[in-house]
């Protein structure tokens, strides 16, 4: 900033801009509140069905979020403009004061016309009026004034330039919509950008020249700023995709940099997390530089990284950095497409093993989070997908058609990975087989089918199941039904598969009812008995029976399905026995038939789970009953205080605004009372180990189910002041017993191969 610009600055225009942004912030605050409390809250309570359940509700939620981002961005812009305006005004005052003090020493500051200035004598003593005393000054006074003025102008320039820099960076973050970058003042935003540039310069050094001190600076900086959008975008783009890969590969290669590897070995996991989360934040930027970064990173996927042409490829390096953070969906999709093209070329579409993506002599240990080496890029990539449900859904449904001329059929990524792929073998330090890749695949499938990140519980904001999600669920059920070994032989995936099943309970119960499927123009009573928002997965009864028996042979899978079903039945009882339920949503039968029907399907469901548990304990797996009890009670700890969506009913059950608070994630009176009693009764029930007495075991589980169903119906009847309470016990007992008989029939007709004969 030159002397004249600051000395004669008119701040009216800037004052007006600050005032306008302040007004805009206040208006957006009102719109944000209206959008969240009115529009979004109403959408969550509304009776969604069909296309509205899949599109409108999600759109309204995203629109409400845009108002929040708009308010955040406007607040940040106002803060930066206001901060800069106040600083420039102060610098102008400082400049005026410096010039005035100079005049008292007969010194004047004059513009040179080219943006510079000079300090000269104001009145030469020889030309002073007669009798006028001219103040004296020394050469040091001239130098001091010059330095003071230059310092003020430099600080004013820095204030002006940094404001322009960060405002441009914020505007570039999102080409459409608004950025969620939030800064209280210009300095905090400018500090983030400067820190990014400084750390990128260090990370861009030749990896062999990095020191432990460099490592510490980078790790500390990424830890501090990993969620900062301006920092993340600037760090990633300044470093560039190639240098990003070389940095992580080199820092882990003892042949490249043995000092850092030796002295910071215990910190490499922190660096991997921080770098991964920083890059994830960066990918959500729409800046031109970041768009180029993402495209070039994908292009580098099949290229070698580092000084050795036989070293790891870009996919192998980058995928390990995807294990943490929420990466941009479009980037994940494009990356996954190129990754699978490369994988299928290497394996000739699954005909041979992929020996390239295994750890060889020239492969550094690229993963510092967990036990696997990181040599298989699908392992890290699938973990990244587990945090990004929409991208995961698209990825598993994407089909790949080989480009040769042998007329092979297109195969989805789901089928290739879940059924066909020969996963690279790897062991931990103790020699035990690792299955991290397949476990991460299960986590990614959990996200892809449920619509929320794996390991989390659905909330009222989780959209109802889409056609793509429901179709993938159908593929999963059919695949396990076709070959139960796909899950039984890889039972470490059962916790995710069990949770998936727990979030498709309406679809599963409709299939077991053998009623016409939604979408066929049918409005049968079965569909009203099991209301569903979103898309019905249209499951097959036979496939469902085999799926439930298989998934419940693992304690975690059993617990998710068992507890989820208990909550689901309780919520259904509460829902259907509510006299205020709209007529067009009401199951067209009396209370007796309603309670009996719900109890029957609950009995069938639990009978199939009982078969799975029995097979696990008495069959070759040799599981312990206590392990199942423990898993169920662990589920209690996870869902403590919440019911409905919290235990796995999922938002597809939200079919009516009168369904109750439970499906909104708040403890419903009926469901919470039922679960509390169930957990109390279940504690230690099988500690004595039932041995080989199959009949006793079957009856014990049937009795537990009957008690839970009775509690659910009785609590619902009391809540709605029903007059038939004394008949509930009979209705529930008859319905549950019939359901267990149905399950026994299912097992012999549909899943006989899953029933191991127990020797005497």
What does the pLDDT read at residue 139?
80
Cβ atoms of residues 598 and 573 within 8 Å: yes
What does the pLDDT read at residue 756?
60
Cβ atoms of residues 395 and 448 within 8 Å: yes
Helix (H, G, I), strand (E, B) or coil at 46: coil
As a whole number, mean pLDDT of residues 744-759 equals: 73
Q: Which pLDDT band, with edges at 50, 70 and 90, does 651 fall under?
A: low
As a whole number, mean pLDDT of residues 602-630 equals: 84
Q: Calculate ∠ Cα 452-453-455, nearest 5°.
A: 115
CA-CA distance, 657 to 661, in Å (whole number)? 9
What does the pLDDT read at residue 424?
87
Cβ atoms of residues 379 and 321 within 8 Å: no
**Contacts of residue 658, Cβ cutoff 8 Å, sequence gap at least 6:** 575, 578, 580, 581, 582
Residue 222 pLDDT greater than 90, yes or no: yes
**Residue whose token pair is 């005032």:** 19
CA-CA distance, 446 to 190, in Å (whole number)? 40
Q: pLDDT, tens digit, for every residue of 123-152?
A: 665 555 565 666 767 788 878 888 888 888
Task: Give the tokens for residue 142.
Answer: 């001239």
**Contacts of residue 713, Cβ cutoff 8 Å, sequence gap at least 6:** 573, 577, 595, 598, 599, 728, 731, 732
Task: Give the tokens for residue 251.
Answer: 């820092």
Percent with pLDDT over 70 in the chain = 78
Residue 252 pLDDT greater than 80, yes or no: yes
- How crowded is residue 545: how many other Cβ atoms within 10 Å of its Cβ? 28
Residue 666 pLDDT greater than 60, yes or no: no
Q: Identify the CA nearest to 530 among candidates 498, 558, 565, 561.
A: 565
Residue 474 pLDDT greater than 60, yes or no: yes
Helix axes 505-512, 591-618, angle to 10 degrees: 100
Report residue 523: phi and psi, to 5°. Answer: -125, 50
What does the pLDDT read at residue 644?
43
**Contacts of residue 133, Cβ cutoff 8 Å, sequence gap at least 6:** none
Q: Identify the CA nearest to 439 among candidates 426, 429, 450.
A: 426
**Residue whose token pair is 């050094």:** 205
What does the pLDDT read at residue 684?
45
As a whole number, mean pLDDT of residues 24-32 equals: 63
58-67, 486-495, 608-617, 747-756: least confident range: 58-67
Q: Which pLDDT band, with edges at 50, 70 and 90, does 422 fall under?
A: confident
Kindly list the structural domains of the chain, giving each domain's residue range(s) and its CATH number in brackets, ordered by start.
Answer: 3-172 (1.20.1260), 197-300 (no CATH), 314-456 (no CATH), 457-695 (no CATH)
Average pLDDT, the chain: 81
Of residues 521 and 591, the one with the higher pLDDT is 591
Task: Give the tokens for residue 152.
Answer: 């003020």
Residue 417 pLDDT greater than 90, yes or no: yes
Residue 61 pLDDT greater than 70, yes or no: no
As a whole number, mean pLDDT of residues 256-272 equals: 92
As a dihedral over the C-alpha atoms of residue 723, residue 724, residue 729, residue 735, rounded to 10 degrees, the angle is -140
Q: Exposed/middle/buried for 734, CB within 10 Å: 0-12, 13-18, 19+?
A: middle
């Amino acid at each position: 900033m030159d002397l004249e610009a600051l000395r004669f600055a008119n701040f009216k225009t800037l004052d007006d801009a600050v005032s306008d942004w302040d007004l805009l912030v206040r208006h957006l605050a009102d719109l944000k509140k209206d959008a969240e409390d009115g529009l979004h809250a109403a959408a969550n309570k509304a009776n969604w069905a069909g296309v509205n359940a899949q599109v409108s509700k999600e759109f309204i939620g995203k629109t409400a979020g845009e108002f929040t981002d708009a308010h955040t961005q406007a607040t940040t812009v106002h803060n930066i403009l206001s901060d800069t305006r106040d600083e420039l005004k102060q610098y102008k005052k400082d400049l005026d004061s410096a010039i005035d003090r100079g005049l008292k020493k007969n010194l004047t500051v004059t513009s040179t016309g080219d943006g510079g200035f000079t300090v000269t004598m104001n009145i030469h003593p020889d030309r002073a009026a007669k009798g006028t005393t001219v103040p004296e000054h020394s050469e040091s006074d001239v130098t001091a004034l010059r330095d003071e003025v230059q310092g003020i102008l430099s600080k004013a320039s820095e204030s002006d330039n940094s404001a322009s820099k960060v405002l441009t960076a914020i505007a570039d973050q999102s080409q459409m919509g608004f950025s969620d970058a939030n800064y209280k003042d210009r300095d905090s935003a400018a500090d983030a950008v400067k820190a990014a540039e400084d750390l990128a310069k260090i990370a861009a050094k030749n990896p062999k020249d990095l020191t432990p001190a460099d490592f510490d600076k980078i790790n500390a900086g990424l830890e501090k700023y990993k969620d900062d959008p301006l920092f993340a975008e600037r760090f990633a783009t300044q470093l560039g995709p190639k240098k990003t890969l070389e940095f992580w590969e080199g820092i882990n290669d003892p042949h490249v940099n043995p000092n850092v590897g030796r002295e910071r070995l215990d910190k490499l996991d922190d660096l991997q997390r921080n770098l991964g989360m920083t890059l994830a934040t960066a990918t959500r930027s729409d800046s031109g530089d970041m768009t180029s970064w993402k495209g070039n990173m994908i292009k580098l996927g099949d290229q070698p990284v580092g000084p050795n042409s036989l070293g790891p490829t870009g996919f192998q390096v980058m995928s390990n950095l995807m294990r943490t953070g929420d990466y941009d969906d479009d980037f994940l999709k494009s990356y996954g497409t190129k990754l699978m093209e490369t994988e299928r070329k290497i394996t000739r579409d699954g005909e041979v093993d992929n020996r390239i993506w295994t750890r060889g002599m020239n492969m550094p240990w690229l993963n510092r989070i967990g036990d696997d080496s990181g040599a298989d890029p699908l392992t890290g990539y699938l973990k990244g997908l587990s945090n990004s449900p929409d991208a995961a859904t698209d990825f598993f449904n994407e089909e790949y058609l080989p480009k040769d001329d042998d007329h092979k059929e297109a195969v989805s990524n789901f089928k290739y990975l879940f059924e066909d792929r020969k996963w690279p073998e790897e062991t931990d330090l103790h020699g035990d087989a690792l299955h991290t890749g397949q476990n991460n695949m299960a986590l990614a499938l959990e996200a892809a089918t449920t619509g929320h990140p794996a390991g989390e519980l659905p909330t009222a904001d989780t959209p109802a199941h889409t056609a793509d999600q429901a179709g993938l669920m159908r593929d999963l059920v059919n695949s396990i039904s076709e070959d139960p070994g796909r899950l039984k032989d890889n039972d470490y995936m059962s916790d995710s598969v069990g949770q998936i099943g727990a979030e498709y309970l309406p679809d599963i119960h409709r299939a077991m009812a053998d009623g016409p499927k939604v979408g066929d123009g049918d409005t049968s009573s079965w569909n009203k008995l099991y209301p569903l928002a979103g898309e019905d997965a249209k499951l097959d009864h036979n496939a469902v029976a085999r799926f439930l028996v298989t998934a419940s042979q693992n304690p975690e899978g059993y617990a998710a399905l068992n507890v989820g079903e208990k909550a689901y039945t309780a919520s259904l009882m509460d829902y259907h026995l509510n006299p205020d339920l709209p007529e067009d949503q009401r199951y067209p039968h009396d209370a007796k038939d309603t309670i009996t029907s719900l109890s029957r399907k609950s009995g069938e469901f639990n009978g199939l789970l009982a078969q799975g548990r029995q097979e696990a304990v008495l069959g070759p797996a040799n599981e312990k009953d206590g392990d199942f009890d423990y898993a169920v009670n662990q589920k209690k700890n996870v869902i403590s205080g919440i019911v409905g969506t919290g235990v796995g009913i999922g938002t597809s059950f939200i079919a009516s605004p009168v369904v109750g608070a439970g499906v909104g994630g708040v403890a419903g009176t009926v469901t919470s009372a039922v679960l509390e009693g169930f957990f109390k009764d279940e504690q230690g029930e099988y500690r004595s180990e039932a041995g080989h007495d199959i009949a006793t075991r079957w009856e014990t589980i049937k009795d537990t189910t009957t008690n839970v169903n009775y509690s659910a119906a009785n609590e619902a009847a009391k809540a709605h002041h029903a007059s038939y309470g004394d008949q509930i016990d009979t209705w529930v007992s008859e319905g549950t017993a019939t359901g267990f008989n149905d399950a026994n029939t299912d097992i012999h007709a549909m899943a006989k191969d899953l029933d191991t004969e127990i020797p005497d």
